[in-house]
Amino acid sequence: MSAAAFDLHRGTPGTLGVSGVLSFDTAAAALDAIGKALGDATVSRLDLAGVQRSDSAGLACVLAAQAEARRRGRALVVDNMPAGMRALAQVCEVADLVG
């Protein structure tokens, strides 16, 4: 995996796992991949345990993925949000939106 790469994988049924970098460089591609994966109606969780680095674009990607899931009539629970992303969500006053 390169320095500015992310990976989307399915391990646990119903869960999308994100690993690598979720940043300005990768957020658009990540959101596209997550949006396509949300076509599977069983997907209800986004696991960020493998995210090594993120920034405000990564946080925006997570919020947009949750909005897309809501548009499709279901919730997308975020698990294992990195501490830096959680702190950014608090500063931006969107922590309640990501759970």
Residues in CB range of 76: below 8 A, 6 or more apart = 38, 43, 44, 45, 46, 65, 66, 68, 69, 70
Residue 69's pLDDT is what?
A: 96
Give me the pLDDT at residue 49, please: 97
Model confidence over 74-94: pLDDT tens digits?
A: 999 999 999 999 999 999 999
Instruction: For residue 35, give the nearest of 55, 11, 63, 4 by alpha carbon.
Output: 63
> Is the separation of the CB atoms in 4 and 15 below 8 Å?
no
The model's pLDDT over 1-52, given as tens digits with 9 standing for 90+, comes to 445 699 999 989 999 999 999 999 999 999 999 999 999 999 999 999 999 9
With cut-offs at 50, 70 and 90, classify the pLDDT of residue 98. Answer: confident
Strands (E), 1-99: 6-10, 15-22, 45-54, 77-79
